[in-house]
Structures are given as C-alpha cells and as structure tokens.
Chain A
Amino acid sequence: MSVTPEVQNLRFHQIPHPLRPQIHIQVFRDSMSACQHLRDHLLTAPECYAWGIVCPEFHEILDIENDDTRFYYWEEAKRSNGASAQLLYDIYSEAIRLNSADAAILKWIITNSYVTIVLGLDGVVVVINDRLSVVASAYLPGQGDARGVQDSRSLGRKGFPRERPMRNGRPSGRREALAERDRRVMERREENWNLEQKLYYRVFRPAVQYVRRYQRAIPSSAMHSSVVSFETLKTVLPPVTQLKWEDWQNLRRLCGREVIYG
C-alpha cells in the first residue's frame, strides 16, 4: 500500500485493483468521502464493534464502546478535514487492502464496466468505482441497518444508533431475564474463543449469511444495468454450509492470512 502526497489534509492510500493489480486505486475519492465512510461504518454502532474485531488496533485509537467518544472523534475529523482521523483511516485502508487481496485469490469478485465489488475473508465488502479508480465504499454486511444510518444523519444524534430489533420480546420482566441469560450463554460460548474465532463467528459468517439472505429476494432485473450490487456476490460465493470454521481457516491459509492472528 503506497501513500500519496498530502491531499486535503488526509494522506490517502492506494491499493492494487483486485482484478488488474497493475492499476492502483485510491482509498476513497476525497477526505469528505473518507470521513463519511469512517462515520457510517467504523464509528456507527453496532458495526463499529465488528470493526474492532477486524482491526484490533481500533481499540488503541479510541474507546469503541463509548458513544460520546465516537461522536466527538467524528466531529473532530469533520472539523480537521479528516486529518485527525488519519490513524483510523490507515487501519480501515489496510483492512480494505487485505480483503481485496483475498478476493483476488478466491475470485470472490463481481464486476461490470462501472463497478467492482469484492468480499474478503474478514467479511469486508469493498466497492470500487472503476471509472474514477477509487474505493467507493467498504463495510461489513450484516452488522447494521442502512436505514438507521440515514436516520442518524438526519437526526444528528450522538453515537449513531442503528439497532432495530424485530424479535424484541414483549415488555415484561421475562424479557430482561431472557436477555441476561442470552448474554451469559454468549459469554460462556466466547470465553475461550481466540480473535480468529470471533472474526469468523461474529463477522465473516454473518457477512456471508447476510449477502445470501439479502439476495434471496432481489431479482437481477431490480438492478439498473449500470449497477452491480453486492447481493450478486452470491453467484461467486460458496454456500455457508461449505464455509464452516475449518473451511474458512483453510482459505485464510491459502490467502496467506494465518500469520495475522497467529
């Protein structure tokens, strides 16, 4: 990943295009676009928690759990035209580079003359605008509700809440008791997980499931001919039953990723 000279206060990174490695693409078009994507994905709950697993260094940059901290980080990034968010942008760009490289090896890529979309082994979807040769977006499918992101923009609320649960539980003491029980079950389940297992179970598998589930309802005819949407990734992705924990570990080895978490 090379660094271009300082532009608009944020030092941009470039990564190889997953299909044409001789071409380098910039990670976001400008600092405003970079900041918006940092806000909508790395600084928005609950997707931010998943980014904390994909990029463990994220925890060293700010307190992810704290809504106010994330909000003020964004405010500062906006004020400084992105310069104050350089560290966050750096780790975001690195995740984009790694997942794009996975996709190049695994051929988890769909493209037309306008857009290329890839999915990598961290569950990161990267959208590339091929006309402008820039990364247009990068996110973790299945970690939040896009409508919530839009609401949070218009409401200007702190912390960008995005949870919109449907299986809420009827208001009663039982709901709280059940939530507490579920929390304990998850704690017991995860207490012996290493970071890789967390990455697989909490991020990668939900991403694949989301892509496949999302696609279940969308016919190709719903897409404008010039648009490729990530749901068509299902045409190149194996089913989840063939992407079990062991399968995923093998794929990571194939892509030279096992060294990352040791």
Chain B
Amino acid sequence: MDDNFLINRNLQATRDGQTDPRHIVSVWVDELASALEFSERTSHEAYTLLATREKLRRVRSELLSEQDRHLIQQADQIIAAEGTVLADMALALLDPTSWQQELARFSDAFEDEINSVEQIVAASDLLDDLDDAQLLLVAAERLGKSEPELSSQLDDCETELLRHADLFYPATVYIQGIGQTLRTDLDEEDYALAATTLKFVDLLERFEELESELNFQNIMPLPPNVLKSLNHQIRLEKGLTQPQSRLVQQMRSYRNDLRTRPLAAAALLEASEAPRRYIWSSPDQAVVARMMLPAKAGHRNEEIRIGFFRASDQAPVSDWAGKSLLLGTLRATIDSEGIARFTLDQILQVNEPWRLSVEPDEREWSLSD
C-alpha cells in the first residue's frame, strides 16, 4: 500500500488513520448483493449491478474476501448473459442534468442551510452518483454500447465537480478512503476505469492545497509528481494536448485563487511568479496569437489579452482590426492594435479544449506553449 499514489499522506485524515477503505468496500459489496438478489431486475438494480461491478474491478484484491469474489463471479455471469438488456435499462435512467441541478442546490445550501454532517453526506452522495454514472458508461462500452453524448455530459459534470471542489472537502475522509481502495496499476490494466479515478486524484490534490492554505503553511513538500504525470497522461488520452491540459489546470488554479482570495492575496505578497504564455498558430502559419496568463488570479475583472502578430516579424496585425474571433464559445473583436481583450471571468468560462478560430476562416488554430 505504501506505493499507492492515491494515499495522500499530506492530508490530515490520512495521517490520523481515520480512513476506512474496508468498510467502504463492504458497503459496495452489500449493494452488489442487493442488485443480484432477484432474477428479474428493475432498471435501478440493473444500474447498481453494472456500476458496482465496475467499481469492484477497481478495488485492491486484498480488500475482497472469498465470499465477495463469489458474488462478483455471479455478477459476471449475469452480465455475460443479459448485459446488453441491463445496460439499455440503466442508461435510460442516467440524467446528468438532474445531477448538475442537485450540485447547484448543494452549493446554494452549503453555507447556511445544512450542518456539517449533512454536508458530508450530500457531498459523498453527489460524488458517488457521478462515479456510478461514469462506471455505468464504462460497463456499457464493454458491452458494445457507446454513448458519446452522455459521455460528454458526464465530462461536464466532472468539470463542475472540480469547479466546486471545495464543497467536497467535508467528504475528504471518504474520498481518501476511496483512494485507498483503488488498485495502483489501473492505468496500465484498464484505461477506461483509470479515467474514472481522475476526479478523486484532482479532488485530493485540491484538498492538499486547501489544508495547506488553511494552515497558512506548507506542511510537507508535494510528493514526486506521479499524480500530475498520470493526470496529464490521462488527459492526453482524453484528446487534450499538453498545452490544452495545462490551460485547464491553470483555470482550475485561478478558480481556487478566487475562492480563497484573502489567502491568495497574502501569498502574492510573498512571491511573484512569472506569467505563463500560450501561443496559437494560424492554419497557414502566417499569424500567431499570444495569450499571457498571470501565475495567480488577482480579481475577476483582471484584463487578459490575446495579441495577434505576424509570424515573420512579430509585428502586430493591425490590419485585422474589426475581425471576430472565437475562443471556445467566447466571441471577441480584434482592435486596431491587433489585440482582443477579455476579463479573467470571461476566460474562466471558456470550455476545453481551448479552440481558437478567426473569421471568416473557421479552421482551428493550433495551440502550443
């Protein structure tokens, strides 16, 4: 277990040994047993059966008893015999929109309306709901049922989850417990399943930052960046290039900065890091667009510029004044200095994977850094 990169020793609960991965696995086994009990299954039982089977595939073998393995075998036999019917029923239940609404409700209620135990329960339930849905899609894919639209909607849910990562901090002990149930070889053995664990990795990373901020000190240096490299690797597999992936991380870091602004401001007094530069090249390579992003977010109205320059002599393309550009879903106009101006808040709304195009040409510019 010592080489498990999902055991975040920087986190308080991990150090205190509060996590209980065995209990978590036993609850999953209970759920599988219930879904197997009757030969004619409801759609909800089909959903639980498929999702929980995948969940137990992620679990370290030493956490499963002989009885558990027997149950899993039973599940495999049923899935082999009637998996596609079960998947059809289960997929029809999946409703990412409701999940997002529930997350919004949780966010609204978080500060004033619910106590700390309710926060833990709501955060855990929401996280489990998303995890189950992602696992269901993995199961469906194994059964030859591809659901690109649902998959994209669930990606949006994951983005929202990570955007609200701090709301999930009350469930940190649970999330660390889940981390401790996971096999460490998943990314080599089963890539689709490994991708479902990314949200835990990201959340735990965020919680480490949060605990460090709350303590006003870095308790320990971050461990060698196995986590980040895995994160990058899987994001690349999801179709993001390295600079796109960096931009996604940069935006996440900004959101964290803005949420913890007093702490972030204090940190800014301590150190000023160099801004980061991102460059897009036009399809004909004649023009480059440069965006400079500050290392830390100051405030939401902070101006972010994208400057357009000729590749040959780096002169601003002032003759492009009035042209429209599209960055993700964000539209802007290039001014007489060859610059398009945004606020940080607008930039935070840009969706992955940071596609840029300039009218009238609809072709995508290539991003590098």
Contacts and interface: CB of A to CB of B under 8 A. Distances in A.
Interface of A: 146-147, 150, 164-170, 172, 174-175, 178, 181-182, 185-186, 188-189, 205, 209, 212-223, 229, 234, 239-241
Given A166-B125, A218-B121, 16 more contacts: A164-B102, A166-B129, A168-B93, A170-B94, A172-B92, A175-B92, A181-B89, A182-B43, A185-B41, A186-B42, A212-B30, A213-B31, A217-B120, A217-B121, A217-B171, A218-B120
B82 interface: no
A213 B125 CA distance: 10
A217 B30 contact: no
Identify the interface centre among A178, A215, A217, A222: most chain B CB within 10 Å of its CB: A217
B18 A147 contact: no
B33 interface: yes
Contacts of A213: 27, 30-31
Interface size, B (range): 35 or more
A240 B94 contact: no
Contacts of B278: none
B120 A168 contact: no
Interface stretch (B111-119, B336-344, B345-353): B111-119
A161 B209 CA distance: 40
A222 B115 CA distance: 11
Contact of B43 (A178, A189, A209, A212): A178
Contact of A216 (B18, B27, B44): B27
Interface in B159-198: 171, 173-174, 177
Interface of A is mostly: helix
Contact of B117 (A150, A216, A229): A229
Given A178-B92, A219-B13, A239 B26 contact: yes
Contacts of A181: 42-43, 89
A168 B33 contact: no
A217 B174 contact: yes
Contact of B18 (A209, A212, A221): A221
Contacts of A223: 117
Contact of B95 (A168, A205, A209): A168
Interface in B123-162: 123-125, 129
B30 A239 contact: yes
Given A168-B93, A213-B27, A241-B30, A222 B38 contact: no
A209 B30 contact: yes
B35 to A, nearest CB: 12
Q: Which of B23, B29, B92 has the most CB of A within 10 A?
A: B92
B75 to A, nearest CB: 14
Interface string B42-84: 1110010000000000000000000100000000000000000
Contact of A178 (B67, B89, B99, B109): B89
15 contacts: A166-B129, A167-B44, A167-B93, A169-B94, A178-B89, A181-B43, A186-B42, A213-B31, A216-B23, A217-B120, A219-B13, A222-B116, A234-B23, A240-B34, A241-B67
Please list the 8 inter-chain residue pairs (A to B) with the smallest Cβ-Cβ separation, ordered nearest first.
A217-B174, A217-B124, A168-B95, A240-B30, A182-B42, A219-B173, A168-B98, A219-B18
Contacts of B120: 217-218, 222
Contact of A169 (B16, B93, B109): B93
B34 A209 contact: yes
B131 to A, nearest CB: 12
